[in-house]
A and B are shown apart, each in its own frame.
Chain A
Amino acid sequence: MAAQVASGAVGRGLGDRLILSATIGLAIVMLIPMLWAVGLSIKSNAELLVDTNSVLHAPWTLKNYADIIVGSQVFRWLLNSIIVSTGMSLGVLILSSLAGYGFARLEFPGRNIIFVLVLFGLAIPEQAVIIVRHQLFSALDLHNTYPGLMLPGMSAPFGVFLMTQYFRAIPVEIDEAALLDNASRFQIFWRVLLPMTLPAQATLGIYTFLHSWNDYWWPLVSGTNERMYTMTVGIAATQINFAESAGLGYLMAQAVFGSLPVLIVYMFFQKYIVRAVSGAAA
């Protein structure tokens, strides 16, 4: 997001300031739900039952956070989310790099038609396949297992498409030079080309991780055992019995706790995350 472009000439101070204030106002509206949740999470549940306006004044407490750490499964869910998202990301990176190299550099019977068929997969929404996939995983006894949660994400063709494009953009002269040095095909892939694709690996890895972390439908129908909930599904489970739950403050503490990992990662890798998400869309 470099290079100032739109502002044009000087002497528009007032207009600029008006736009800036309007934008800041909108940003505050944007932050209200988050701040409201944080506020509720540091109040006692009893006080919130009487009046939630009490958020604005003391006493505040961290008891809700202590309660979720001691009395709920959040750490288990956190661990599940980390395992599933990391596993899925690694899987996607490995499969996509191999396949991308294959499609971009090697020739084999039916290569072009196979590649077009893989691209066709970009248009298949999860909803069109989820029920048969669910039956298949039942038959294979994969529900409530880590592979069961990871595998569907690895079948999405986006990574293969991205890596193929990336490998194609690398000049063939680099392969030729390595071939003259008697490098094997796999050595060229592993030692020469793969390190050059690191930016694409980062984009794809971050995109997959975030996607997996926030995925809701598949873990909802596949990881139905409470011990196998991901963070996303666990938080859904606690809010379904919203009214009779442990209390508003407790729920909000869980929401804040559950969003911290991604928000922290977002703060440090904002540039990469934005690039990954918008790159995947367009």
Chain B
Amino acid sequence: MVTSVQATVATGSSRESRAKNVRGGVRGRWSNMLYVAPYLSLYVTLLIYPLFAGFWLSLHKADFFGGSRFVGLQNFVRLFHDKVFLGAVGNTFYFILLTVPALALIGLALALALNRTTRSAAVLRGVFFSSSVLSVTIVTLLWRVVFAPDNGFIANLLHHFDKPSIPFLSDENLALPAIGITTIWWCLGLPMMLFLAALQQVPRELYEAAALDNAGRWKTFWHVTRPSIRRTFALVVIIEVVLQFQLFGQAQLMTLGGPNNASRPMVLFIYEVGFNRWDVGYAVAAGQILFGLILIAALAQYLVARRKEAF
């Protein structure tokens, strides 16, 4: 989301001088603020204040009912010794590894296959994007009855071939991969569309030249398409890393983080500590760590977006 920030800031100053002519002097300078004031008041109250109050709160042992005492960095020290939290961090990274490469590669493959004007390609694009408009609670409901070990869709298939069913969601090693499959199914539309948009930007002449050279499908992809979509590929990966960092609903609804904490991501940890155990200082501290990690990814996105050609 930080992508075009720089461009905006840059165009801002170049328009300055002209805007001055339009305005005609300094008349009504403060009153001009009235246009941004309604938004700013919400922004400060609901985003900036909670962020900074959170920094302060994370230094406290605080419960929901207002009891609070200053403990310094103790919450953070506790986090780094909390096996459940460390496990959640590990699960989150493992989950990103499971989903992000698959999302980027399948998304790219679909974009390459469906980048044409035929009616069937349009319908197929519509199908692959359709799951993206569903809410997480519907997605998990659909996939639970696909994975269910006694009467689920996969179990029925396995029984048909006289194989025993697999308890996807109650097996320590399979729970997170199953959530990963659900997530890939749910999120596939966005990378596909981003790649399609990038493919439209590749100049047609390049393909015509490649065709004149009798370059095959693979050669054309490698020498023409690949260099033109490198930057998009990096952006898709980073966008998906940021998104999948925030895994919450799928794990909360499909496995509750189990079995044996095997599928608990960071955000679910924060939710449980903050809203079930009401250990709010501790939960906010865990939230700060998540924020730091996301900030690193966002910074990477900004840097990739900035170097337009160099990639």
Contact = CB atoms under 8 A, between A and B. Distances in A.
A101 B210 contact: no
B75 to A, nearest CB: 12
B168 interface: no
Nearest to A3: B200
Contacts of B67: none
A168 B8 contact: yes
A5 B185 contact: no
B214 to A, nearest CB: 8
B42 A23 contact: no
Contacts, number: 328
B84 interface: no
A273 B46 CA distance: 27
Contact of B35 (A36, A101, A109, A127): A101
A2 B133 contact: no
Residue among B23, B35, B45, B246 with most chain A CB within 10 A: B35
A20 interface: yes
B74 to A, nearest CB: 17
A46 interface: no
Contacts of A200: none
B122 interface: yes
Contacts of A114: 36, 40
A221 B274 CA distance: 10
A107 B19 contact: yes
A24 B249 CA distance: 29
A83 interface: no
Interface of B: 1-5, 8-9, 11-13, 15-16, 18-24, 28-30, 32-36, 38-40, 42-43, 45-51, 53-54, 57, 64, 110, 112-117, 120, 122, 124-138, 140-146, 151-153, 156, 185, 188-190, 193-194, 196-197, 199-200, 202, 204, 207, 210-211, 214-215, 217, 220, 225, 235, 239, 245-246, 248-249, 253, 267, 270-271, 274-275, 280, 283-284, 287-288, 290-291, 294-295, 298
5 contacts: A53-B156, A99-B35, A124-B51, A128-B288, A151-B42
Interface of A: 1-9, 12, 15, 19-20, 22-24, 26-27, 30-34, 36-37, 40, 48, 51-53, 94-96, 98-99, 101-109, 112, 114-119, 121-136, 151-152, 154-158, 160-161, 164-165, 168, 172, 175-176, 179, 185, 189, 210, 213-214, 216-217, 221, 231-233, 235-236, 239-240, 242, 248, 251-252, 255, 258-259, 262-263, 265-266, 270, 273-274, 277-278, 280-282
